[in-house]
Structure 1
Amino acid sequence: MALQEERLTAVDANDRNDGWLAVRLWAVVLAFVAIALARSIDVGIPFRDPHGAFLVNRIGVTIAIAVGLIVLDGILRSPRPRSRASVVATIRGRWTPRRLGLAALALLAYHVTYFTYHNLKSWDVLNAPRDDMLLRWDRWLFFGHSPAVLLHDVLGENVAAWVLMVWYEAFPTLVIFSFPAAAVLVRRTREAYAGIAAFVWAWILGTFSYYAIPSLGPFNAAPEEFAGLPHMMIQDTQDKYMAQRDYLLAHPHASDAFAQVSAFASLHVGITATILGLAWWHRMRRTTIVMWVFLAGTMVATVYLGWHFFVDVPAGLAIGALAWWLGPRTVGVKRPPARSQT
């Protein structure tokens, strides 16, 4: 137990020197918010959080997940034989008020970024889409063929459609657990900030890509290519997103006008690649392999189901890679040695 307390004390000593991490991370987040405020003034539409979907409710879910992960972390780190007292002592030793505050600031920075991203994404539909250009790029890369149709021919349009639909829809669940884990299930606060900073940059870079090439997706630009797929929740969601866009364009100042459709780049790919980077950063070999498999399936699913053009996929990979180049450097953290991992 004495050794356990000694290790925890050493960790806390490191954390006491990490307050500047929050300053550096929040500088990036607030700059992003400032850009969004300028865009809000330009389009004359205020920030919105419809039904608390992108900020209020998600903060509540994150708190619940983070508390559960803290308890799990305490159980796993407690010396054996474990008892309630030893688990409580481990949690109290690791989660000092300072460490809790720094973790809360990191998670709040993520949520403010995500909320800002969604508002900028909504206002992006006011820009003219360039789907025809992306369709031409795809045809050129595949010698006149549609990559989605080629996938349908190879994989079929029945069982594969349902499998890839489930695969694609697993993404939100993966994300909602991954970023709290990045802040909780690490040894040092600085490692948490490196991960959260990478997530923050992924959403910011994704937003810039939306504005660089506004687009809606091949399901709208070339609907005939997806007519052979069975009716699934995917088509219902796509119809819903287009209805949201039409409503916002018709009634931009309505309090419930909010759009969620953009194609270039694929942030399903970009954020999944960022989560893969998180596993790599912490030298979680088996998790990294699993995430490579999940990323591969996501790249196939996003084109197969018509959400994204093929060119959106490498753009998403580039976002994930750049997020991991920028994130640790933003907060001034180097990748920890293998012996530091838990």
Structure 2
Amino acid sequence: MPEQTQQTHQTRERSGAPSGPDPAAESAEELRTEWRRAARLWAVVACFAVVGIARSIQVGVPFRDPEGAWLLSRVELTAGIFLGLVVVDVLLRSPSRRSWRALAATIRARWTPTRLALVWCALLAYHVTYAVYRNLKSWDAFNTPRDAMLTRWDSWLFLGHSPAVLLHDLLGQDVAARVLAIWYETFPYLVLVAFPAAVVLATRIKDAYAGIAALMWTWILGTASYYAIPSLGPFNESPGDFAGLPPMSIQETQARYMAQRGDFLAHPLAGDAFAQVSAFASLHVGIAAAIVGLAWWHRLRRTTIVLTVFLAGTMVATVYLGWHFAVDVPAGLAIAALGWVLGPLTVGVRRRPEPRTGTL
């Protein structure tokens, strides 16, 4: 035993303190472990950024922040949502919600400067990953779409029929169309809340990192799928299949995305040139499934059920509205599953927290 450690144990024995491991030393080791998790997470971000830089050099188009200060505005929005979720977290964990002293004590105990630094390290890693994803997705426009191949796959799977047309015949093209359009357009708001919730509501920091890493891997693997099979979607490949749908904002968005893609290909170096459409795989499905994984990881049974229903509706909506081919749906689910394998492995988390237990 080192001399300094031996002296520490002797001092604790003389004072009547337990002679086991030093709690301060254990806490310091836990803290080092958490920062190692952060380093591993950022190593993934760095590798993905290198891929983005290489692609940028290849196509001769610089990284862009759509609509000006998009990244900064998203970080600011995340900060606002984060603060709201922290309030919810403190109210849920405080022994007395009517006592300001109890609430303040919960804030001091749980939201230490170190914990805030760790969770924001994870949130910023997510934002940088998503920014790289957006640019790589835009540059996918230079690849030749393979929508005809995906249409053949769908036709083979559904015995010569279009899965979208089958859904139209089954559900109708009026009320169902409007409900599914609203359902589909709810997705961005769910994402905005889900990833800050992944770090705020986690009891253990390592579970926060496992969730953020899983979401990051889902975006990264989704980007790889875009490049593996470039595509634009059934709404562009087979527009007649969707001619019976009522006029909605969905069609306006699809037309805008195609116009943006055309402008980008015509003038890729224009400052506002940016493409936003790719079909295979469906990351609406992939990210929604990854968010279901968040609830499952934290053993939130009722939340998992609700989010699974949302995922099922998204799977229907994305085909019904023409955004994705049917084969894009299982591909999105597979990407989410792989993201949840790689995420915990990346940050060194082996298992979910035990029910109603767990600390930093």
TMscore range, shorter length: over 0.9
* Letter aligned with residue 29 of structure 1: V
Within 5 A, what are the aligned runs for 1:3-152?
Answer: 14-15=30-31, 17-52=33-68, 54-80=70-96, 82-152=98-168
Query: In the alignment, what sits opposite 1:244?
Result: 260
Structure 2: distance between partners of 1:62 and 1:12:
29
Aligned to 1:199: 215
The aligned amino acid for 2:82 is: A
Note the C-alpha offset of 1:15.
Answer: 4.6
Q: Would you say 1:265 and 2:281 are equivalent positions?
A: yes
**Partner SS, residue 125 of structure 1:** helix
SS of 1:324's equivalent? Answer: helix
Other-structure match for 1:3: none
- Which stretch shows the higher mean deviation, 65-74 or 121-130? 65-74
Tell me by how many angstroms 1:84 deviates: 2.0
CA RMSD of aligned residues (A): 1.7
TM score, norm. by length of structure 2 = 0.90
Structure 1 CA distance, aligned partners of 2:95 and 2:326?
Answer: 50
Cα separation, 1, equivalents of 2:31 and 2:283? 32
Q: Deviations over 1:267-326 (max 9, x none)?
A: 000000000011111111111111111111000000000000000000000011000010
Is the Cα–Cα contact under 8 Å of residues 123 and 259 in structure 1 kept in the other structure? Answer: yes
Query: Shift in Å at residue 339 of structure 1?
Result: 3.3
Q: Structure 1 15/199 Cα, relative in aligned 2: closer, same or farther at 3 Å?
A: same
> Residue 135 of structure 2 aligns to which amino acid in structure 1?
N
Among residues 275, 295, 315, which one is paired with 1:279 in the alignment?
A: 295
The residue that corresponds to 2:187 in the other structure is 171
CA distance in 1, matches of 2:31, 2:203: 10
Aligned to 1:292: 308
Offset at 1:82? 2.8
Which amino acid is 2:169 matched to?
Answer: D
CA-CA distance at 1:87 after TM superposition: 1.1
Deviation of residue 83 (structure 1)?
A: 1.7
Maintained 8 Å contact 2:195/2:212: yes
Contact 2:204 / 2:358 at 8 angstroms: preserved in 1? no
Deviation at 1:53, TM superposition (A): 6.3
Q: CA shift at 1:52, angstroms?
A: 4.1
Task: Tell me how far 1:331 sits from its aligned partner.
Answer: 0.3
Q: How many residues align?
A: 334
Is there any run of 5+ residues in structure 1 with no aligned partner, and where? 1-8
**Identical residues among aligned pairs (%):** 67
Q: TM-score, normalised by structure 1?
A: 0.95
Q: Which residue number in structure 1 is paired with residue 169 of structure 2?
A: 153
Deviation of 1:51 after TM superposition, in Å, equals: 2.1
Question: What is the match of residue 4 of structure 1?
Answer: none
Q: Secondary structure of the residue that 1:231 maps to in structure 2?
A: coil
- Render the CA deviation track for 1:196-243: whole Å, top value 9, x for unaligned: 000000000000000000000000000000000001010000001000
* Offset at residue 96 of structure 1 (A): 1.1
Q: Determine the C-alpha separation between the residues in 2 that align with 1:313 and 1:54.
A: 29
**Given residue 336 of structure 1, which amino acid in structure 2 is its aligned partner?**
P
Q: Tell me, in whole angstroms, the C-alpha distance in 2 between the residues paired with 1:175 and 1:312.
A: 20
Does the CA-based 8 Å contact 2:279-2:325 persist in structure 1? yes
- Aligned to 2:356, the other structure's residue is in SS state helix
Bigger mean CA offset, 64-73 vs 224-233: 64-73
Q: Of 152, 173, 196, which aligns to 1:180?
A: 196
Q: What are the within-5 Å matches in structure 2 for residues 216-235 of structure 1?
A: 216-235=232-251
State the Cα distance separating 1:71 from its structure 2 match: 1.6
* Residue identity in the other structure for 2:291: I
**8 Å Cα contact 1:282/1:341 also seen in 2:** no
DSSP 3-state at the match of 1:104: helix
Q: Is the 8 A contact 2:289 2:311 kept in 1?
A: yes
Unaligned runs of 5+ in 2: 1-23
1:337 and 2:345 are equivalent in the alignment: no
| C-alpha contact (below 8 Å) 1:54/1:114 kept by paired residues | no
The more displaced of 83-92 and 274-283 is: 83-92
- For residues 245 and 91 of structure 1, do their structure 2 counterparts lie closer, same or farther at Cα, with a shift above 3 Å needed? same
Q: Which residue of 2 aligns with 1:5?
A: none
Runs of 4+ in structure 1 displaced over 4 angstroms?
Answer: 11-16
Q: Which amino acid aligns with 2:207?
A: E
2:284 partner SS? helix
CA distance in 1, matches of 2:328, 2:68: 29
Task: Supply the AA of the counterpart residue of 2:357.
Answer: S
